[in-house]
Structure 1
Amino acid sequence: MGGNCEEPFRELSPAQRQVWRTFVSGGWGLLAEINNTMSAAGLSQVDLRVLEGLQDREERGISELAAVVHMSVSTVSRQITRIVEQGLAERAESETDGRHRLVRITDRGREVLARHAAVRDDTIARLVVDPLTDDEFRMLGEMFAKIAANLPGKGHP
């Protein structure tokens, strides 16, 4: 399995390697375009991910949020400090453990999230949804659901 030193690393076939390179090129290019579009609108993709991670729960701990958004605890902690200063989120103490700090999205954070999501959604519609058929787009979602289910941590939403 590659991660075990006693087992040999698996090698991709030339065709698999080409598919992978195409995926990486398209994926990185897509993320760069999303980031450029959001930056031009004065928005941040990282803020969007963190706010989305906060919106579906009343409150979350930093470690839990980091796992949900697939970022390091230190990165999420820095983002939280910044968005708390902007009034997009607020810190709260845990009712069960006074040492544990929780974070929750504010009403202003929900408004900013809606603006971020609108810009992102328009970009995704133009660059991903429109060039694909409905079946291709559905299959893309199914493929990434399989990939996410196979990742350590079993792919948080």
Structure 2
Amino acid sequence: MGATGPLASQGARLGARLIDGVIVIAGAVVIALITAFLAAACGPGSTVGTVISVLGYTILAVALLGYEPYTMWRYGGTVGKLTCGLRVVRLEDGSPLSVGRAIGRAFAPVLIGLIPFAGILNICWCCWDERRQCLHDKVCNTLVVAKT
């Protein structure tokens, strides 16, 4: 048992990550295509086309960078986690994540991944950890539990 329920299985966590990957890629493709279409419709070298491109790709960056922290803070998990019946909680007391902790948990894997082989180790860590935590969970004191 975790802080507020049974620990999430590794398979459920993987399934959630795959669902989130599809959502993020599909969303990025849609935003990029709309931006490219609108910018191209304005004509090459057009000031309006350039503004549309900058605005579109800014929206894309905000969406990509904000998806995981926002959904973990606001709803307790990403769409993938919620679909797989999981939620992310604070290790100490099982409460929801603060905005800061949600941001830290979303970006910790990026920083860990900068170290050679640490990204793979981060993902695999939950396979032998007693609390099924990945390294980014340990860094941010979070736990992934099954919703009860």
The TM tier, using the shorter chain, reads 0.3 to 0.5
Greater RCO, 1 or 2 (C-alpha within 8 Å, sep 6+) = 2
TM value normalised by structure 2:
0.35
**TM-score, length-normalised on structure 1?**
0.33
